Amino acid sequence: MDGMSVVEEGAVAAALAVLDRHMAALNAGDQAAMTAELHFPHYRLAGGRLQIWERPDTYLADFLARAGEGWHHSAWDFRNPIAASADKVHLDVQFTRYRADGSSLGAFRSIWVVAHLNGRWAAQLRSSFAR
């Protein structure tokens, strides 16, 4: 985003760091580290349904149930800021899910909203075309 203020640039950097830590924790199967990068309640709109996690306890299991047969890891394809303020960043992202052999299970576009709430940056909601 051209013309961002220093504050907005800092917010985008913080949001991207949240996504980096979230993906690393997901790939490690570390639910505590992964959900530390989310605000709860956490919201996900996909497949015409709004899913709400009030608490982090089932988040990883829910992901694994929908990730696809043979899911091994995921990686960001791109993460582009759409808009940013001092306390919220909207990101246009795409990620790919992979099998252990490196073959793709699919690439999925999403919008993630990362917010600074209660003194910390974390993802608050997303709208995804993923399962």
Instruction: Check which CATH number belongs to the domain holding 32 and give it.
Output: 3.10.450.50
Question: For residue 94, is it within any domain?
Answer: yes
pLDDT at 85 over 90: yes
What's the domain count of the chain? Answer: 1
* pLDDT score of 1: 56
Q: Find the domain containing 39 and state its range.
A: 6-128
> Taking a C-beta distance cutoff of 8 angstroms, is the pair 128, 44 a contact?
yes
Question: What is the rounded CA–CA span in Å between residue 51 and residue 64?
Answer: 15
* pLDDT score of 119: 96
Q: Which residue has the tokens 């299970």?
A: 105
Q: Which pTM does this prediction carry?
A: 0.92
Q: How many alpha carbons fall within 13 Å on the CB side of residue 29?
A: 4
Question: What is the rounded CA–CA span in Å between residue 61 and residue 56?
Answer: 10
Question: For residue 79, is it within any domain?
Answer: yes
Q: Which residues are bridge partners to 125 per DSSP? A: 43, 113
Residue 57 or residue 87, greater confidence: 87
How much is the average pLDDT of 54-71?
Answer: 87
Question: What is the rounded CA–CA span in Å between residue 60 and residue 71?
Answer: 13
Question: For residue 49, is it within any domain?
Answer: yes
Question: For residue 71, is it within any domain?
Answer: yes
Question: For residue 1, is it within any domain?
Answer: no
Question: What is the rounded CA–CA span in Å between residue 88 and residue 97?
Answer: 27
How much is the average pLDDT of 69-90?
Answer: 96
